[in-house]
């Protein structure tokens, strides 16, 4: 009663464990899908948000860069008008002795007349070859006379061969007293007629031009600065994010932290000018693909519904029927009655499983009946063996009595022969044992060959090379005697001359190597193939030749559970060597089995 209760509790625990495992698996799958959905949603959302902000920033930077580049080209056109003004050209070409205040003022007024139509020009400076200059706004600047009078500065401008170039803050020659940033257009002035160089012009554009441009576009997240990092216009707080790499190549994007918030910094250089635009944008909800997210949510919902449906299906059509089938099997186990199961199964596969179990039960019942009959037969055979064991004792006693009589009569050889024969039968019978130690098997061979020498004289010699480590290995009884018998009758005798039989054993690489070698007539390869043939129906072809040898080989194969345990090496007219290769583990196991027997 107590055992049945324990079994029932065990059954419940098994069911609970299986159900829990199934539920855990389903919950795990749903959780994995849900987490995968969240991760995928996050990745898609972040990717699209970032892509949207990058696209927007690049669009703004390209548009602003084009506006600035267009304005600079317009100012270059204005500078071309300035250097062609008649009064300025007169000032630049006049002899030094002819230059006076009136000529200088005329040149200044000439430049100012042109600049009246151009907004944003802070000043224009013109330098003669003799280093005299005229400026439209001279009082607002401080000049570096050393740099201004140096040939290096002039040669840099002359190297552009009259083309306008854009620099920052007068190229270092002058600076505004209030340190306001400037964008400067530089160009050499050549005489139109002679193309002779007559001076240098610098047009300084106020940073207010760029600030007004940003104000009109309402950009408060843009900073315009020089390639050297100097501030020009916009949000001056972005100067810390500037990198010299922004002045090279196309648009650069990178993530930065502003007030502990992740934002996108985009920067580009304005054409080939030393002006850089930086824009800092925050990541908003713009660009999120809500349509894709809605589709993913619908797919997730469909998956959850399918998972629930699958769980219900597995429980009702698979798990519960298996539980019923298991309960019936357990009932057979508890009662000890191997009965077939009669339960309706919801599917053909489970019905097949039930039928297979019922067929197995029927087969087991048949096997049990067969085993019972075999056990009864074995018991009867054991009784016969016990009875037959009485006969060898009578034989031993009779041989011993005859031996004493022969010894009393002076027939010593007869006495010795009877002693050998008695020893042979004692070992041969081995108290009914089926397996014996190798040492006893070798002794059987020695006694047998001693008896054969009494019959055939000295037609052969026997030699033994037995490793002491192998003496205790247990082997099937009478595996060597048929081999040496075969060596005498089918080998040495047929050769017609004196021969030798050598028995050896050694342990090598975990295997027992047991050899019998004779110097008889040898065997052909066809004879070897017949003897090694593993087909039991093949034995008729070797009947009368070496059937005892074939039967011994079969016994060794059955004992070791493998066909690859025998090797035969022979040369016709020279020798034959038969080797048994038995694993050390099998021999050690044989010791245990032998002790039980």
H helix and E strand count, the chain: 17, 19
Helix (H, G, I), strand (E, B) or coil at 269: strand
| Cα-based distances in Å from 39 to 25, 35, 44, 292 | 21, 6, 8, 14
Contacts of 551 (CB under 8 A, 6+ apart): 482, 539
Residue ranges in the chain modelled with pLDDT below 70? 1-23, 285-293, 336-337, 374-433, 534-547, 589-597
- End-to-end C-alpha distance for the chain, whole angstroms: 40
Asked if residues 423 and 467 have their Cβ atoms less than 8 Å apart, the reply is no
CA dist 31 and 24 (Å) reads 10
∠ CA 20-22-26, nearest 5°, is: 115
> What's CA 413's distance to the chain center, in Å?
80
- Phi and psi for 131 in degrees, rounded to 5? 75, 5
Rounded Cα distance between 134 and 128, Å, is 9
d(CA 381, CA 388): 10
**259 DSSP assignment:** T
Provide the strand spans (E) within 112-248. Answer: 121-128, 133-135, 141-143, 165-168, 174-176, 182-190, 197-206, 222-226, 231-234
Question: What is the value of pTM for the model shown?
Answer: 0.48
Closest CA to 166 of 101, 232, 211: 232
Pair 437, 473: CB distance under 8 Å: yes
pLDDT confidence of residue 87:
92
Convert 7-55 into a string of H (helix), E (strand) and C (coil): HHHHHHHHHHHHHHHHHHHHHHHHHHHHHHHHHHHHHHHHHHHHHHHHH
Rounded CA separation 197/162 (Å): 9
- Residue 591 is encoded by which pair of tokens? 């010791």
The whole-angstrom separation of Cα 575 and Cα 519 is 4
Give the 3-state secondary structure of residue 347. Answer: coil
Taking CA atoms, 68 is separated from 21, 54, 274, 467, in Å, by: 69, 21, 12, 104
Phi (first) and psi of residue 88, to 5 degrees: -70, -40
SS3 403: helix
- Rounded distance between C-alpha atoms, residue 17 and residue 229, angstroms: 70
Q: How many other C-beta atoms can be found within 10 angstroms of the C-beta atom of residue 148? A: 19
Q: Are residues 244 and 194 in contact, defined by beta-carbon separation less than 8 angstroms? A: no
| DSSP-assigned letters across all residues of 571-585 | ETTTEEEEEEEEEHH
Q: Which helix (H) or strand (E) holds 504?
A: strand 499-508
Instruction: Name the burial class of residue 59, with classes exposed (0-12), middle (13-18) and buried (19+) by CB atoms within 10 angstroms of its CB.
Output: exposed
The tokens for 487 are 């060596």
- pLDDT score at 309: 76
- The answer to whether residues 126 and 174 touch, using CB atoms and an 8 Å cutoff, is no
Please state, as a whole number, how many other Cβ atoms lie within 10 Å of the Cβ of residue 365: 13
What Å distances lie between residue 486 and 6, 19, 517, 541, 547, CA to CA? 64, 68, 11, 17, 10
Beta strands at 133-135 and 165-168: parallel, antiparallel or unpaired: unpaired
The distance between the two most distant Cα atoms of the chain, rounded to a whole number of Å, is 175
Write the pLDDT tens digit of every residue in 134-193: 999 878 888 888 888 888 888 888 888 878 899 999 888 898 998 899 999 999 988 888
Question: Is 61 within 8 Å of 353 (Cβ atoms)?
Answer: no
CA distance 358 to 353: 9
Starting at the edge strand that comes first in sequence, how are the strands of the sheet with 182-190 ordered?
A: 133-135, 121-128, 197-206, 182-190, 165-168
Phi/psi of residue 437, nearest 5 degrees: -65, 155
DSSP letter for 149, please. T
The H or E element that residue 315 is part of is: none
């Amino acid at each position: 009663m107590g055992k049945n209760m324990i079994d029932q509790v065990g059954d419940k625990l098994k069911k609970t464990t299986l159900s829990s495992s199934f539920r855990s698996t389903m919950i795990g799958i749903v959780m994995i899908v849900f987490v995968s959905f969240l991760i995928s949603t996050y990745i898609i959302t972040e990717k699209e948000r970032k892509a949207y902000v990058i696209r927007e920033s690049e669009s703004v930077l390209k548009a602003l860069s084009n506006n600035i580049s267009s304005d600079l080209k317009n100012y270059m056109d204005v500078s071309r008008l300035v250097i062609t003004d008649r009064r300025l050209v007169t000032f630049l070409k006049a002899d030094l002795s002819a230059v006076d205040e009136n000529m200088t003022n005329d040149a200044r007024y000439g430049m100012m007349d042109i600049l009246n139509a151009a907004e944003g020009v802070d000043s224009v400076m013109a330098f003669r070859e003799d280093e005299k200059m005229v400026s439209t706004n001279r009082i607002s600047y401080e000049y570096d006379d050393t740099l201004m009078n140096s040939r290096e500065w002039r040669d840099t401008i002359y190297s552009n061969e009259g083309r306008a170039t854009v620099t920052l803050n007068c190229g270092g020659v002058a600076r505004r007293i209030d340190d306001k940033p400037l964008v400067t257009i530089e160009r050499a002035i050549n005489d139109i007629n002679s193309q002779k160089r007559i001076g240098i012009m610098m047009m300084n554009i106020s940073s207010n031009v760029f600030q007004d441009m940003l104000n009109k576009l309402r950009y408060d997240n843009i900073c315009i600065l020089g390639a050297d990092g100097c501030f020009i216009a916009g949000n001056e707080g972005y100067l810390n994010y500037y990198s010299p790499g922004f002045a090279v190549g196309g648009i650069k994007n990178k993530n930065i932290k502003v007030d502990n918030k992740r934002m996108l910094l985009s920067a580009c250089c304005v054409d080939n000018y030393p002006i850089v635009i930086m824009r800092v944008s925050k990541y908003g909800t713009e660009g999120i693909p809500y349509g894709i997210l809605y589709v993913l949510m619908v797919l997730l919902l469909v998956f959850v519904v399918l998972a629930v449906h699958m769980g219900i299906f597995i429980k009702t059509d698979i798990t519960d029927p298996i539980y019923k089938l298991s309960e019936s099997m357990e009932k057979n186990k508890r009662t000890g009655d191997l009965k077939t199961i009669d339960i309706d199964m919801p599917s053909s596969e489970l019905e097949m499983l039930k039928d297979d179990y019922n067929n197995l039960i029927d087969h087991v019942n048949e096997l049990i009946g067969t085993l019972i009959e075999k056990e009864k037969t074995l018991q009867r055979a054991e009784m016969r063996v016990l009875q037959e064991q009485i006969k060898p004792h009578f034989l031993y006693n009779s041989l011993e009595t005859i031996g004493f009589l022969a010894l009393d009569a002076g027939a010593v050889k007869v006495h010795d022969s009877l002693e050998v024969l008695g020893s042979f039968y004692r070992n041969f019978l081995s108290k009914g044992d089926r397996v014996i130690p190798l040492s006893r098997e070798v002794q059987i061979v020695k006694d047998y060959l001693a008896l054969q020498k009494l019959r055939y004289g000295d037609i052969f010699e026997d030699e033994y090379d037995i490793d002491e480590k192998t003496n205790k290995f247990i082997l099937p009884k009478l595996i060597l005697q048929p081999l040496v018998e075969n060596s005498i009758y089918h080998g040495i005798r047929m050769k017609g001359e004196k021969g030798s039989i050598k028995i050896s054993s050694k342990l090598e690489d975990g295997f027992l190597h047991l050899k019998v070698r004779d110097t008889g007539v040898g065997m052909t390869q066809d004879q070897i193939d017949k003897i090694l043939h593993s087909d039991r129906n093949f034995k008729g072809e070797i009947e009368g030749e070496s059937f005892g040898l074939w039967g011994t080989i079969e016994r060794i194969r059955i004992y070791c559970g493998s066909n690859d345990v025998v090797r035969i090496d022979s040369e016709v007219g020279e020798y034959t060597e038969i080797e048994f290769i038995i694993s050390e583990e099998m021999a050690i196991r044989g010791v245990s089995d032998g002790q039980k027997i």
